Amino acid sequence: MFKVWIDAGHGGKDPGAVAYGLQEKDVALKVSLGIKERMEAAYENVQVLLSRSTDVFLELRERTSKANAAGADLLVSIHCNAGGGKGGFESFRYTSASQNSIKLQDVLHKAVMAKLGGTDRGQKAQNLHMVRESKMPAVLTENLFVDVAADADRLKQASVIDAIIEGHVQGIVAYLGLKSKAKEVKTMTQERDINVPSMWAETTWKEVTEKGFFDGTRPGALVTREELGAVVSRLLKYVDQIG
């Protein structure tokens, strides 16, 4: 069972970046919850653990300590950006990142950009706590700018949040090589009363019964070769009579 640690940045008394009616902490939590729900519902052999599932404040050291103690196989910290400019998406690994962290960043970054589109600010390395203190491959993503009007408008759209969620899911799935859960195929069957003729066959059934080809019982039952033989015999006699 793979353990994926998703860290929703900020929370509680720390709203993160704030602009245009958006708070970074809210976007980060919505995306994190979406990743957990989607991955566990659709993929085998994976458990998604969260730094927070509600609007609470956690120190940075609490977040990485919990992830390390859980023995997570990877960590992704979810954020939104601020600082103006042209906006867009970017990701971060530690300045002395492991090869696995570099691979995770590359796969995850490309998957998010494929779903989200827009300005690609690149894959970067920085001395950030969440990627430095994590004992597993770790990446921090900055998902658009809350203080860039065009990005803020996008972050208010459900379809854009869905794209961010799906991009993260697909990146993690590709990195871990997860398999989709087998879809249960349900065969739809319609029960019917074999003693009642179908509406489309009522007139015909009445006619062939009155002529003696059938005895009038069990109109919805399957016919055996023997019963079919009896019907043919009656039909031949009927033809002789009217001939």
Q: Rounded to an integer, what distance in angstroms lies between the CA atom of residue 126 and that of residue 91?
A: 10
Structure tokens at 130: 């969440």
Q: Are 137 and 104 in contact (CB under 8 A)?
A: yes
Three-state DSSP class for 198? coil
Structure tokens at 170: 């697909």
Q: Are 89 and 27 in contact (CB under 8 A)?
A: no
Q: Quick check: is 191 catalytic?
A: no
Catalytic residue among 142, 184, 207, 226: 142
Q: How many CA atoms lie within 13 A of 84 on its CB side?
A: 0
**What's the full length of the chain, in residues?**
243
Enumerate the active-site residues. Answer: 142
